[in-house]
Structure 1
Amino acid sequence: MKMIQMTAFILATAFVAPVFAQTATPNIDKRQARQQERIAKGISNGELTAKESANLEKREAKIEANKEAAAADGVVTKQERAKLEHQENVASKRIYTKKHNARKVETSQ
């Protein structure tokens, strides 16, 4: 009886583990975290105005929603990953542009 249960468990995990691997997006998750840090630093040192940071945060939220939608069916395809990476590339460029424009928030010293 134990042998049958053990075999069933092994077979179940053999089929379930790849599904989890296909929905995981570790590179995108790490990149989102790094971009959130860049936005936070831009806010704290005055490089980003409130409006700029709100727009950047809104874009990051949209990418997160797209990522969740891609994973909703249990598989994140190569095409979905490529689309998410493209969206992250665009967002990264926008963060850089907004942080390096002439608009600054005056911080009191």
Structure 2
Amino acid sequence: MNHASMFHRGLLSLFACTAFASAGAMASAATVPGHPRVNEVSRRIDNQQARIAKGVANGSITGKQAARDERRDANIAQRESADEAKHNGHLTKAETRRLNRAENRNSRAIHRQRH
């Protein structure tokens, strides 16, 4: 095998990995018919983003607090995508439970900041 063909194979595998990773990230942003656990977690992340935006709009949450809350939500969404990638777009009950606990902690933090 010459260097050019090895380079092309490496480039092709890099492209394939990137395509799969981006497809997993995009899957968590939209609702997926027939995947209630995935939809539940995604819906909660969207709801919390709206609550954060509402808090910033009415002045009960500062920009620094909003950035921290959004960073937490982004971390949860990233973990959701990684878990989905492990199971062909599905979440196990244990993964859903873990993600919901993280969402509950973030939800309580948002509530304390807004009130």
TM-score by length of 2: 0.65
What one-letter code is carried by the residue in structure 1 that aligns with 2:111?
A: Y
Q: 1:86 to 1:24 in 2, by over 3 A?
A: closer
Corresponding residue of 2:43: 30
Distance 2:36 2:111 in 1: 29
Maintained 8 Å contact 1:42/1:48: yes
CA distance in 2, matches of 1:77, 1:34: 22
- Structure richer in helix, relative to its length: 2
Q: 1:76 aligns with which of 91, 97, 101?
A: 91
- Deviation for aligned residue 1:23: 8.7
Return 5+ residue gaps in structure 2 as ranges. Answer: 1-32
Counterpart-to-counterpart distance in 2, 1:61 and 1:98: 19
Q: Could you tell me the TM-score, scaled by structure 1's length? A: 0.68
Q: Is the 8 A contact 1:39 1:95 kept in 2?
A: yes
Q: Which has the higher contact order (CA 8 A, sep 6+)?
A: 1
The amino acid that maps onto 1:44 is A
In the comparison of the two structures, how many residue pairs are matched?
81
The amino acid across from 2:46 in the alignment is: A
Identity of aligned residues (%): 35
User: Using the alignment, how far apart are the partners of 1:63 and 1:36 within structure 2?
Assistant: 12
Q: For residues 9-37 of structure 1, give each alpha carbon's deviation from its aligned partner in whole angstroms, at most 9, with x where no partner exists.
A: xxxxxxxxxxx845961111111111111
Within 5 Å, which residues of 2 pair with 1:22-101? 25-73=38-86, 74=88, 75-100=90-115
Which structure 1 residue ranges, 5 or more long, are not aligned? 1-19, 101-109
Shift of 1:56: 0.4
CA distance in structure 1 between the partners assigned to 2:36 and 2:51 by the alignment: 26
For residues 84 and 35 of structure 2, the distance between their equivalents in structure 1, rounded to whole angstroms, comes to 8
Partners of 2:93 and 2:107 in 1: CA distance: 21
Query: For residues 62 and 39 of structure 2, what CA distance do their matches in structure 1 show?
Result: 30
